[in-house]
Amino acid sequence: MDYNQAQQRVNDLKKFYKSLLWFGIVAVIIFADDFYEKGAFDFSLWDGSIILTIWGIILTVKAVKLFVLDSDWERDVIEREMRKAK
DSSP string, 36-78: HHH-STT--TTTT-HHHHHHHHHHHHHHIIIIISSHHHHHHHH
Prediction pTM value:
0.70
Mean pLDDT for 10-37 is: 89
Q: Cα separation of 12 and 17, whole Å?
A: 9
Instruction: Give the per-residue pLDDT at 63.
Output: 92
Q: Is the pLDDT of residue 1 over 90?
A: no
Looking at the 3D structure of the chain, how many domains does it have?
Answer: 1
Domain containing residue 76: 3-85
Instruction: Give the per-residue pLDDT at 45.
Output: 58
